[in-house]
Amino acid sequence: MTMVTTSARHRREGTDPATLVIDAGAASGLTEAPKTKQHKTRPEKPLYTDGERERLQQVARSGGVKAVIARSRLDNDGRRREERELRAERPVEFAVPTLARTDTGFAGRGGGRMPFVRRPTEFRGTTAQVPGLYPFSVGANAPLSGAPIGTHLETGQPVGYDGLSWFLDGDMTAPSTMTLGLNGFGKSTFGRRIALYDLAVGVRPMVMGDLKPDFTSMYHTINELSRHEYDGHDPLQVSEVGYGGGKMNPLDVGNFGRIIARLPQKARQVAEVELRRRQITALCSLLQILRGAEFQAHEETLVGAAIDCLYRADANRFDLDRPPLPEDVLKVLKQAPQGMHDAAAGARHPDLIEASGALGRTADLTWDRYIELTERLRQALDLIVRGPFGTMFNAPTTNPIDTEARGVCVDISKVPTGDTKLRAAVLLTSWSDGFSAVEAAHLLSDHGLQAPRLFDLFVDEFSLVLGLGHGMVYRVDEITRVQRTVGTGTNFFTHTLKDLTAFDSQEDRSRALGFFDRARAKVFFPLPQSEAELLEGKVNLNDFERNSLAEWASAPRRADDPVIEPYTAAEWRQILDGEMENAWATGRTRGRRIPPGMGKLLIKTGEGEQPGIPLQMSIAPTERRLGFHNTNRRFDHVASFEHAQQER
């Protein structure tokens, strides 16, 4: 009710101005109701009959565009039926129009329809910072565990990853990672980021064979920065192998042999058997690379018998501190038939003759048969002793791996790039030495002789050795079997899955793909579209993930402007003098266009349908300033030199 006291109404109705008039508008039929704008509702569409629905269902099963339209009509009809059933069950309390339900809300006034829903702002914090919000109802699928890699491409949240951390947190069943990706998109930077995190948390990263070298410059930089904290000593061991560098004896016992004397008697006997097996495997793998053919069973037995003969010699020249060389094995193989004709002393090496399978009715027949069976083996050993391989492998190891170091990196960049066999031989020998050192450290900790240690092994260009010939996959599998040992993580890097399937033998292909299958985490950098077909059945990639990997691998459009102008000669001199941060520190890219997939990667774990984690890798300011992620220094120098010449 309203109280009306205006003088205008008093004059119109002839009442006393002092009289109070109470107006109950609903009771008076003389007052007109105010006009309000009525919302026009859309007329309801009639429902399909049973016959019409059956006809649409037949069209939907036929396929094609008409089937899509038919399924859409059936869905809309189903929603209309559901709405009418709900209205029939709901009691009518007010005479208000019913709003139609759409995909974006209820249409009409008061329905709250939103044609575009913005992404809500997301925050991340600990339970102490955001009390009351945990447990969260929706997971971000971006665990912050391990090395900080970058930000999630969908949510923008930080993502951390390394195999050991995820394994210790229970996110993986084994600390093994296989990284695939085309060159130039950040695969090596990803590996260095994990190695940096390992150093920070006390894990010992071991890079067994740095080809480019990618890790060596980072190790040298860290040594220079932290040398004063270690009384002038380098905390990280960097050893060079190659022409003008260090030597590698494939029969060297390494740390594994040097710790045997410290073990209890029973454990020492077991360790000596394991040591001998490793020596045989290392030498046979090296000989197989040189020969380019698979080893025969009797040849591997001969190598083992020859090494046993050297350690059992009367002169006792060789022991754990003085391992034999390949030339010593060759001498034993050559002396065996001479001992057979020594009537006084008898056969010098009867085990060697028996191992060859050359026993005959007479000494002459046995001798001829022995020479025939050992000819190829002696020829391969002669290549190691006399050929270019002799300067590399027929000498005592220059820089044995030190497990006391905070990290180890074997630089093999001085090995000629064109000599594929030599590079593969050096890589294989480095892996054998590194894995042997890891087992030695674990053996000491198992017997309480030192504190337990964690190691993280990095193997770059993993496919280089695998593609050298039949049987090499089996040799690598023997050497890298330590990846299943507790306390050791493995990180294998290669370009595509095709590198692991490029073998003539089905056995080698299956065994090589076993490395990929055993990796509990697969990290994918940009890959070509054809790679998705090979990954089918190996990794559950959805359509979005497959398309993203192919899109990231595309080249930048030439219509795009360069990201940053080149440096001037004065700016480059300031960088060299330390007065100005380098190109990676300031984000300047020397005028080059950036590919869309630069630094983008996808992390997949497990065997189920769970989606992967797409993220953009980021470079910390300190890493940019130090510049060890810049693998294009030579191109930068050339571009700056040309720019300086133009300014003159």
Q: Tens of pLDDT along 553-566?
A: 876 655 444 444 55
- Residue 133 is predicted with a pLDDT of 58
- Residue 478 is predicted with a pLDDT of 64
Q: Where does the pLDDT of residue 87 fall: very low under 50, low under 70, confident under 90, or very high at 90 and above?
A: confident
Q: Which of 182-196, 419-433, 548-562 has the lowest mean pLDDT?
A: 548-562
Choose between 240 and 560: higher pLDDT: 240
Q: CA–CA separation, 456 vs 492, rounded Å?
A: 11
pTM of full prediction above 0.75: no
Q: CA–CA separation, 98 vs 101, rounded Å?
A: 9
Q: What is the mean pLDDT of residues 302-327?
A: 81
pLDDT surpasses 90 at 203: yes
Q: Where does the pLDDT of residue 523 fall: very low under 50, low under 70, confident under 90, or very high at 90 and above?
A: very high
For the stretch 47-64, pLDDT in tens is: 888 888 888 888 888 878
Query: What 3-state DSSP class applies to 603?
Result: strand
Choose between 283 and 112: higher pLDDT: 283
Choose between 171 and 88: higher pLDDT: 171
- Residue 20 is predicted with a pLDDT of 45
Which long-range contacts (C-beta less than 8 Å, at least 24 apart) are formed by 333-337?
333/302, 333/306, 333/374, 333/377, 333/378, 333/381, 334/378, 336/370, 337/367, 337/370, 337/371
Distances (CA, A) of 431 to 198, 207, 244: 19, 9, 21
Q: CA–CA separation, 205 vs 460, rounded Å?
A: 13
Q: Where does the pLDDT of residue 263 fall: very low under 50, low under 70, confident under 90, or very high at 90 and above?
A: confident
Write down the residue that tokens 């090995």 correspond to. Answer: 415
Distances (CA, A) of 96 to 62, 81, 101, 530: 43, 20, 15, 59
For the stretch 134-146, pLDDT in tens is: 554 444 567 788 9
pLDDT surpasses 60 at 342: no
| Closest CA relative to residue 190, chosen from 614, 598, 599 | 599
Count CA within 13 A, CB hemisphere, residue 558: 0
Q: How many CB atoms lie within 10 A of CB 400?
A: 20
| Closest CA relative to residue 596, chosen from 570, 622, 620, 616 | 616
- Residue 98 is predicted with a pLDDT of 67
pLDDT surpasses 90 at 194: yes
Q: How many CB atoms lie within 10 A of CB 87?
A: 10
The rounded mean pLDDT for the chain is 76
Q: CA–CA separation, 1 vs 93, rounded Å?
A: 24
- Residue 18 is predicted with a pLDDT of 47
- Residue 524 is predicted with a pLDDT of 93
- Residue 26 is predicted with a pLDDT of 44
Q: Where does the pLDDT of residue 485 fall: very low under 50, low under 70, confident under 90, or very high at 90 and above?
A: low
